[in-house]
């Protein structure tokens, strides 16, 4: 029960954008020997999801979202650095590969993707962030040029989701589908959408993106051995 209370307070710290309280909870979790990754996902991550819901329903302004997102980013960076500290030889996060990120053409939303980029970097991935409003053709061109392992695209508007589908089509037409693993994200995206367009993975938030990227790298290794 104590652990669940810790998670509740962690969620509240993110919703309230209270960075001092959030960092205090990380220290408390360490003293209680609570799994920090679980704290990140079930506590702080739950707060991050609540922020998204409040923003979507108009209960949170953009400045408030930006400020809270920065707190979440700092909390995530801190926890992942602790998990990936040099003295932990059995650390879950290890150098895995290169991820190319971009918000698709027609979409200027960049906050969520920026947090994902930071989280992946802290977790040990090399990240190439192309920014926002990036055409599918440019995404493919940069992926080939940089020989990345994973392509991650974000679409925050229903009207721009088609660009994610367009990228999958371009990969097939160029004979490059087997060369890259793809993952999608953004408010209107779902696991069903990812499956429908042929993407290899979907992540709901920055924390889950690390798990998905790690999973996709393992799948790619299996694919290359066939």
pLDDT of amino acid 50? 84
For the chain, domains (ranges, CATH) are: 2-83 (1.10.1240.10), 98-225 (3.40.50.280)
Please tell me the distance from the alpha carbon of residue 62 to that of residue 192, in angstroms, as a whole number. Answer: 28
Residue by residue, pLDDT tens for the chain (226 residues) are 589 999 999 999 999 999 999 999 999 999 999 988 789 878 988 888 788 778 778 898 888 888 888 898 888 888 877 876 655 444 444 577 999 999 999 988 776 787 788 778 877 899 999 999 999 999 999 999 999 999 999 998 899 999 999 999 999 999 999 999 999 999 899 999 999 999 999 998 877 898 899 999 999 988 887 7
Distances from the Cα of 190 to the Cαs of 82, 154, 171, in angstroms?
31, 12, 21
**102 closest CA partner among 195, 166, 191, 179:** 166
């Amino acid at each position: 029960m104590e652990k669940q209370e810790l998670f509740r307070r962690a969620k509240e710290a993110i919703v309230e954008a209270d960075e001092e309280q959030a960092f205090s909870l990380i220290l408390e979790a360490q003293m209680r020997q609570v799994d920090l990754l679980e704290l990140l996902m079930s506590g702080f991550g739950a707060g991050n999801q609540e922020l998204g819901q409040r923003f979507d329903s108009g209960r949170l302004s953009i400045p408030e979202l930006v400020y809270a997102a920065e707190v979440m980013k700092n909390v995530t960076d801190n926890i992942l650095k602790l998990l990936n500290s040099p003295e932990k030889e059995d650390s879950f996060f290890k150098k895995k590969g290169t991820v190319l990120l971009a918000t698709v053409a027609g979409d200027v939303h960049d906050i969520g993707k920026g947090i994902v980029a930071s989280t992946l970097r802290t977790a040990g991935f090399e990240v190439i962030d192309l920014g926002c409003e990036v055409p599918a053709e440019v995404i493919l061109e940069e992926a080939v040029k940089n020989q990345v392992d994973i392509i991650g695209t974000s679409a925050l508007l229903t009207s721009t989701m088609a660009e994610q589908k367009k990228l999958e089509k371009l990969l097939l037409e160029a004979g490059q589908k087997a060369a890259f693993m793809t993952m999608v994200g953004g408010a209107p995206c779902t696991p069903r959408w990812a499956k429908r367009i042929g993407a290899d993975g979907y992540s709901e938030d920055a924390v889950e993106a690390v798990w998905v990227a790690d999973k996709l790298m393992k799948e790619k290794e299996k694919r290359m051995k066939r």
